[in-house]
Every structure is written in C-alpha cells, then in structure tokens.
C-alpha cells in the first residue's frame, strides 16, 4: 500500500493515495474541496482505455473550487492491480466505479468520463439516476447508431491513426495511450498527437507524470494492464457492433449532461457526438474546432470554463 503523497508542485492540493474498495487497494488522486466548497457536490473522474487517473490532474485543482474531487485508476490500469477474477469489461467497470463512490461515502456525485470512461459514466448514470447529479462526457466512446458507419472513418481518424499504423504501434483505438517503454521518440510523438494538437506546447511536468505511469517494473501489474487493454477493448467493440443497449442508456439518462469533443479527434469522430446531441437536445454540447481526444489535458482552462459555465446554468435552472 502506498502512503499518500503530493503529485507535484504543478498541481497544488492534489494527492496520490490508496483507497480500499471491496477488499482491494485502489489508486486514486484526490483534491479536497477548496475553502468554502466543502459542502459542494463531490466529483468522480473516470479515465479512458489505456489511461489512468493522471489524465485528469490538470483540471483537478480547478474543479475542487466547487467540491471534493477524486480521479480513480480502474482495475488493470494505472496503479490498480487487476485481479484474477476481474472481468475487465465495461460492465464490470460500471459496477467498480459505483463501489468507489460507496467507499468514498458519496451517495450523490457529479461524474466526469473521458473516452471509455464516458461510456462507463453513461451506463452508470442510466442505471443509477439517483446517484449521478450531473454528467460530463469528454470525447465519450459512444457508438454510432448504425454499425456500418464504423466502416467509413472520419478524416480526423485517418489523419491521426495512419502514422501510428505505419509505425507498427500496437495502440488502442478508443482511449488515451501512454508513451510506453521501448517506443522511440517519433512514435511517442504520434501517440501524443492523439491527445495534443501541439505536443511541444505541453508542459514537461505533465509529460513526465504520464511517462511515470509506464515505467512500472512489476510483472504482475504489467501483465494485468495488457489483459485489461485487450479485454476492455473487446467489450467496447461488442457494444459498438450492437449499439442498441448503449442507445437505450443514452435515452434513459436523467442527469443534466454536458458533452465535450473536438473536430480533430482521431478516436471518437465528431459526427458521432453530433448524432448523440441530436438524439438528446436537452443535453448541452461543444464540438470544438481543432481539439482532439482529451480536452481536460489539451486545454484545461477551456475545459474548466465550459464545465463551470454549464454547471452554473444547471444550478440556476433548479
């Protein structure tokens, strides 16, 4: 078990610690509520396929201005060890996120999800409407309404993925992937461009923090990551091939919902997000020009402005 420690000077107040969930140690990043916001709605942040809680670190200090914030490593990702009996599927992660909220003592919370985390968050919000107060989906891995549309990739997908395929990178198709050991600088740069429009503009502290996630020498942890990546990807693919259940979940969500995405996202096409917003005109959405797959990392200030502006509108409407 790790003792709690500060993540770094670049992220004041954010602490890396262990939470016991269902008898296992789970890695979380926690940002306590800022002064005067202790009674604010807590916020639970869920990463995408191949990512970890670190993907949220840039926005955690800002989000804590309105309440406590926790980002979690799903089993098999980051520093949370996959266990032998873990299903490592989207449905198992939905149940796990709910267990995390229970372990934190949160009966009602805001839920943020990126990529696969957005799919998990959507299903959880549909299943547990009494638990999710507000829902923020960042480039969520929601399927097109017709599977045949998977055969016609968006231009951003072709432009973003082609260099990785040509470089023989075994990268996930739906989530944040890190610069793992053994990848050369040119390949790392292609991977970073799935997240950042301008990798050179990313502050070194964040790149270093991301790299630390993939320097783990524990063989069991590494094997668990490989299994989780493969199994979760197959689970997502099954939901995309037969999207009816996810489409029903989208229709069933009761929580006020914000969708954020980008026209340059190579992994979740903008047309899919526009399709979802058309089906839910009561949801608010922003598909931003020249933004990629993880707005909270690429442009954290923009993310915070959009989330707070929307949350203020929701509070005023109540």
What are the pLDDT digits (tens) for 173-232? 344 444 344 445 665 666 777 788 888 888 889 888 888 877 766 888 888 998 999 999
CA 8 to chain centre: 21
On the question of pLDDT at 103 being above 60, the answer is yes
Mean pLDDT of 264-284: 93
Cα–Cα distance, 267 to 265 (Å, whole number): 6
In degrees, rounded to 5, the angle at the alpha carbon of residue 102 between the alpha carbons of residues 72 and 218 is 35
Cα–Cα distance, 206 to 276 (Å, whole number): 32
**pTM here?**
0.89
CATH number of the structural domain 5-317: 3.40.50.1820
* Tokens representing residue 10 in the block: 């670049």
In degrees, rounded to 5, the angle at the alpha carbon of residue 12 between the alpha carbons of residues 9 and 13 is 130
On the question of pLDDT at 160 being above 50, the answer is no
On the question of pLDDT at 162 being above 50, the answer is no
C-alpha distances in angstroms, 226 versus 60, 75, 182, 191? 28, 11, 15, 17
Point out the least confidently predicted range of 111-115, 204-208, 286-290: 204-208
Cα–Cα distance, 134 to 125 (Å, whole number): 9
Burial class of 294 by CB neighbour count within 10 A (0 to 12, 13 to 18, 19+): buried
Mean pLDDT of 234-251: 93
On the question of pLDDT at 25 being above 70, the answer is yes
Cα–Cα distance, 4 to 2 (Å, whole number): 6
Q: What percent of the chain has pLDDT over 90?
A: 63
On the question of pLDDT at 89 being above 70, the answer is yes
Helix axes 90-104, 116-127, angle to 10 degrees: 70
On the question of pLDDT at 34 being above 80, the answer is yes
């Amino acid at each position: 078990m790790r003792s709690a420690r500060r993540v770094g000077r670049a992220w004041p107040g954010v602490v890396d610690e262990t939470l016991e969930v269902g008898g296992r140690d789970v890695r979380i990043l926690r940002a306590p509520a800022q002064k005067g916001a202790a009674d604010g709605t807590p916020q639970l942040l869920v990463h995408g396929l191949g990512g970890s809680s670190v993907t949220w670190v840039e926005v955690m200090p800002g989000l804590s201005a309105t309440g406590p914030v926790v980002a979690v490593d799903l089993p098999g990702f980051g520093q949370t060890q996959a266990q032998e009996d873990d299903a490592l599927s989207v449905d198992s992660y939905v149940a796990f996120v709910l267990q995390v909220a229970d372990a934190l003592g949160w009966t009602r919370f805001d839920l943020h999800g990126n990529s696969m985390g957005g799919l998990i968050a959507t299903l959880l919000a549909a299943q547990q409407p009494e638990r999710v107060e507000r829902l923020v989906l960042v480039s969520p891995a929601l399927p097109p309404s017709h599977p045949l549309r998977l055969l016609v990739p968006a231009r951003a997908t072709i432009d973003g993925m082609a260099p990785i395929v040509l470089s023989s990178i075994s990268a996930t198709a739906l989530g944040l992937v890190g610069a793992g050991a053994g990848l050369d600088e040119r390949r790392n740069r292609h991977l970073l461009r799935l997240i950042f429009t301008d990798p050179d503009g990313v502050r070194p502290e964040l790149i270093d923090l991301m790299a630390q996630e993939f320097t783990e020498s524990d063989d069991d942890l590494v094997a668990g990551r490989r299994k989780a990546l493969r199994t979760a990807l197959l689970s997502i693919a099954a939901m995309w091939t037969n999207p009816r259940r996810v489409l029903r979940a989208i229709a069933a969500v009761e929580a006020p919902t914000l969708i954020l995405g980008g026209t340059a996202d190579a992994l979740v096409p903008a047309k899919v997000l526009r399709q979802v917003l058309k089906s839910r005109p009561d949801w608010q959405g922003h598909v931003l020009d020249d933004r990629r797959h993880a707005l909270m990392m690429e442009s954290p200030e923009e993310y915070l402005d959009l989330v707070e502006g929307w949350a203020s509108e929701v509070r005023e409407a109540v």
